[in-house]
Structure 1
Amino acid sequence: MSSRIAISARMLLVCSALVSGMAVPVYAQTTTDTAKQVPASRVETQLSFAPLVKQTAGAVVNVYAAHEVQQRSPFAGDPFFEQFFGNQFKGPPRVQSSLGSGVIVDASGIVVTNNHVIRDAETVKIALSDGREFESKVLLKDESTDLAILKIDAGEQLPILGLADSDKVEVGDLVLAIGNPFGVGQTVTSGIVSAQARTRVGISDFDFFIQTDAAINPGNSGGALIGMDGKLVGINTAIFSRSGGSVGIGFAIPSNMVRAVVETAKQGGDKFERPYIGATFQNVTPDVADGLGMKQPYGALVTSIVKDGPSEKGGLQVGDVVLSVDDVRIENFDGLGYRLSTAGIGKTVKLGVLSRSKEKVISLVLEKPRPDDPNDKAVIQGKNPLAGAQIIKLTPSSAARLRLPAETVGVAIEKVFQNTPAARIGLQPGDIVRKVNGRDITNVADLTEVMSGKPVLWRFEFERGGDIIRQIIR
């Protein structure tokens, strides 16, 4: 995948790919609290992790995902050859597979892994630590959290990892990472929690991770990050690396987010929904904090409010800064989104708010997202530069999902499918299509109609982050 951070190192999801059986690493990664004590002597720091590994390793599995891809001929796409020979130059299909890890979280056979491990899979197999393999059923795939929930029928109760309260994880806690790096077999590495709430990483829509220095490599995606009490702290997902191998900067999805997605699947949901609050936000910069009289730049600044939405009903106003959710400090907008999503739809949360230089607490009911009209959404098809883009007419609800001001109108890119013309020209979710070949785009029908044409040149005008981007494509 393309770099999300503009320095020489790269953010890599960690799964391994296999093509026709050959393993090749690819960089598209795939109730009592135990007292925490500082080791009192050198002897205590040299104790073995073996008892903990024996207790937990049986709940960590291998995930094999496979799908057919069409081999591309060097003549494919050439108008001359297609005119005379049609599709005769298409190569035979081949099986492309990816390898990752997973964690059993329910004895009935519910397995958690990363969505990117199984994203395009037609078949998904689970291999238990004892060598047995089972076909799995996909209960839920969620791109926004990069989590997927699978189900296998082993005919017996399976070992599980209980879910820890990831809010209680502290920087410096010892952790173990268990997975199947590079397909070599189940591997255990150890480290500490390097950061408890790492945001602005750019891996998924829910940008909120536990950072660890435990070695994580391709194939570890979906594997377990385990605390010293034997509970699941997080799902290993990505690394930050120049080489593609571990350099001690790994990221795991916190177990509290895992719990929310698993519960959705258990209740029969096939997608994870964010709560709707009817407001948009931006991060508090040092300049904004100074202007508001804040000693530190933190929290989420309200930039727009939807009429009759939960935020307006709760008394939130434009210009307010959300400082905390249920007494937990919010560092930025990503932290706010995480806290609301793990609270869940239907719950009432207490927001600590800075409003007009005074702090107050308001209660907010988290609502179910308001549905989009099916006629206000489409995927662009055909041979044109926008093919592979999913578009949507902007409403306050859809604008909020795309992190656009609630009052924004027009047609926006909601999703860009990989390896499509839309991806190749650099379109991103949240881009607004303003004009195509001089025609103003105000609704989905406008855009689908103009994209059905076959002009010699395509002239586009997009809006991104308030800037106008113009492109001419032949």
Structure 2
Amino acid sequence: MSSDRNSRPGRSPRVKSLLLGSVFALALGGIVAGESVVFSGSSAVAQNLSAPPVSAQAAQPFSFADVVSRVTPAVVSIRVKTDEVAQADDQGIPNIPEDSPLYDFFKRFGQPMPGMPGGGGRGGEQPHRYGMAQGSGFFISADGYVVTNNHVVENAEEVTVVTTDGRELKADVIGTDPKTDIALVKVKDGKDLPHVSFSAGDSRVGDWVVAIGNPFGLGGTVTAGIVSARGRDIGAGPYDDFIQIDAPINKGNSGGPAFNLAGEVIGVNTAIYSPSGGSVGIGFAIPARTVETVVKDLMDDGKVVRGWLGVQIQPVTEDLAASIGLDAAKGALVTEPQDGSPAEKAGIKAGDAIVAVNGEAVNDARDLARRIAAYPPETTVDVTVFRNGEKKEVKVELGQLPDEQKVAAAESSGKAEPTTLKDLGLSLAPAAQAGAGDEGVVVTRLDPEGKAADKGLRQGDVILEVAGHAVSKPAEVQAGLRKAAEEGRKAVLLRVRTGDNLRFVALPLDKA
């Protein structure tokens, strides 16, 4: 018997009692087959079900029946046979990084834990076993292409698509994109299948939305609501740009479509915010324009290829904007161009604030990442940087985003005579003498209530630059701070290395 990935046979009922904290919970599940739905006013089996639009007059009585009866045949249930040993570690946690925003959810709520039925024991190997997962999806072509979530088909051994009239169709995973949680599946020998299309325009806050899925395994279920917000960042990935909707999205809707009143797909339901695991009216869908772009790439060669600038960046805060002379806290601050990257070759430097791409303003660091990723490799773009109080145009030929980025953490230790800056609440020593590398000045002690700690400096951080000038001893840090104060600056910009990560910190200065 198939079940949701979060409710496999043998799961202890105690797992449900652990649902205590507010989390972003993946809404796994799909449609139970067997319901037969008749096309509304059509005899064409392979009709594109998103057209024609429902008239404004027809929508006045607030009935969604016409659009629902037209598009429901294109919505499917996806049943997945998974290799549980391949996807879980010895504590029953899926093989995802510990710094992932979903790691804590799965650790606490999503998988069996040691000592629970179905959980692995410590120190021993798990028995090889298979599980069944279930999700929703929808046809986008008459020959059987199906869109769903990556987390629905991840680690799939077998995939079966179940239509609303009860047919079970074997399918293959064409490609997945974990960064946006989109996957493309295709049924074998698909022909004359009902399908829907994506909306060409953006939905507005306040627009009606209809979600179709299989919450809690009850069968094909329809919920309705409105678009509550756009551009939501929930920390699920580097390209978060979710549509927030209040149509109930519960376990079983993942990969299912959200429709407008014209029967067009405005998004793919993927997550909910919930204190209990059930809907509280805050759901998130991946926008149609993002899904459509990803799907086109997956159709081409089964993978998504994105443009790559090659910079480490951080948001521009009010303090950082003041320290570099930028009028508003907008754009993305470059902490370091990566070696050999397109950015380095084009002359982009650490301390540059990227404020526009091809003339379009960049709001923040995440906005820059999305904009660059939207361009294919080898595209030349005009990047506007703010440097030394002036804007400058830099032409950059984008590369291809690497498949994986390794993140490492380094610890440093050693002894050196520290120099104490009491007004800032920190002590400094040359990094080389403290065993913290060959460059910069290391923070050896920190007052947790001092100015430096308040702005995010930590013990063990290495200060590489002060106001754009490299430093190698505490005296040079003091000189840089003194000069900035003499110039009347409110803050001074420090370039700091924490482990292997680089960032900028705006340190406030006392008024003279």
The aligned runs of 1:155-304 (5 Å cut-off) are 155-165=190-200, 168-199=202-233, 201-269=234-302, 271-304=303-336
Q: Distance in 2 between matches of 1:253 and 1:218?
A: 17
AA at the equivalent of 1:127: V
Contact 1:10 1:241 in 2 (8 A): yes
Bigger radius of gyration: 2
> Tell me, which stretches of 5 or more residues in structure 1 are unaligned?
2-6, 18-32, 372-397, 402-413, 415-429, 443-461, 470-474
Residue 125 of structure 2 corresponds to residue 100 of structure 1? no
What's the CA shift string for 1:94-114, capped at 9, x where partnerless?
A: 542111111222322111111
**Structure 2 match to 1:340:** 372
In structure 2, distance between residues paired with 1:165 and 1:316: 36
Once the two structures are TM-superposed, the CA of residue 361 in structure 1 deviates from its matched residue by 4.7
Give how far 1:56 is off. 2.3
Separation of aligned partners in 2, 1:363 and 1:229: 42
TM-score (norm 1): 0.65
Tell me which of 43, 60, 65 is aligned to 1:50: 65
> Aligned in 2, Cα 1:363/1:165: closer, same or farther, shift over 3 Å?
farther
1:247 Cα deviation after fit: 1.0
Match of 1:10 in 2: 23
Q: Which of these residues, 352, 362, 365, is aligned with residue 397 of structure 2?
A: 365
- Structure 1 residues 185-209: Cα deviation after superposition (integer angstroms, max 9, x where no partner): 222222222222112x122343221
- Quick one: structure 1 residues 346 and 182, their matched pair in 2 at CA, closer, same or farther if it must change by over 3 Å? farther
Output the CA distance in 1 between the equivalents of 2:320 and 2:132.
48
Unaligned runs of 5+ in 2: 1-5, 7-19, 31-50, 86-111, 413-434, 438-459, 462-495, 501-512
Conserved 8 A contact 1:275-1:340 = yes
Superposition RMSD on alpha carbons, in Å? Answer: 3.9
Deviation of the 1:145 alpha carbon: 1.9
> Which residue in 1 is equivalent to 2:182?
147
What SS class does the counterpart of residue 174 from structure 2 fall into? strand
Give the whole-Å Cα distance in 1 for the aligned partners of 2:322 and 2:242: 28
Q: Distance in 2 between matches of 1:295 and 1:36?
A: 47
Q: How many residues align?
A: 356
| Distance apart, 1:243 and its partner CA | 0.7
Larger RCO, structure (CA 8 Å, separation 6 or more): 2
Q: Residue 351 and residue 213 in structure 1: after superposition, are their counterparts in 2 closer, same or farther (change >3 A)?
A: farther
Q: Secondary structure at the match of 1:203?
A: coil
Q: Residue deviations 1:374-406, cap 9 Å, x none?
A: xxxxxxxxxxxxxxxxxxxxxxxx6xx4xxxxx
TM-score by length of 2: 0.60
**Residue in 2 that maps onto 1:432:** 409
- Cα pair distance change 1:467/1:184, threshold 3 Å: same
2:152 to 117, 120, 123: 117
Contact 1:190 1:215 in 2 (8 A): yes
Which moved further from structure 2: 113-122 or 324-333?
324-333
Change (3 A) 1:433 1:467: closer
- Per the alignment, residue 445 of structure 1 pairs with none
Distance of aligned partners of 1:16 and 1:157 in 2 relative to their CA distance in 1, 3 Å threshold: closer
Contact 1:126-1:134 within 8 A present in 2 as well: yes
Kept after mapping to 2: 8 A contact 1:198/1:208: yes
Moved more, 234-243 or 174-183: 174-183
Which secondary structure does the structure 2 equivalent of 1:122 belong to? strand
For 1:316 and 1:468, the matched residues in 2 are separated by 23
Q: What residue identity is the alignment partner of 2:72? A: A
Answer whether contact 1:135 1:152 (CA < 8 A) is retained: yes
Contact 2:29 2:214 (8 Å CA) reproduced: no
Query: Does the residue aligned with 1:432 lie in a helix, a strand or coil?
Result: coil
C-alpha distance in 1, partners of 2:377/2:410?
A: 32
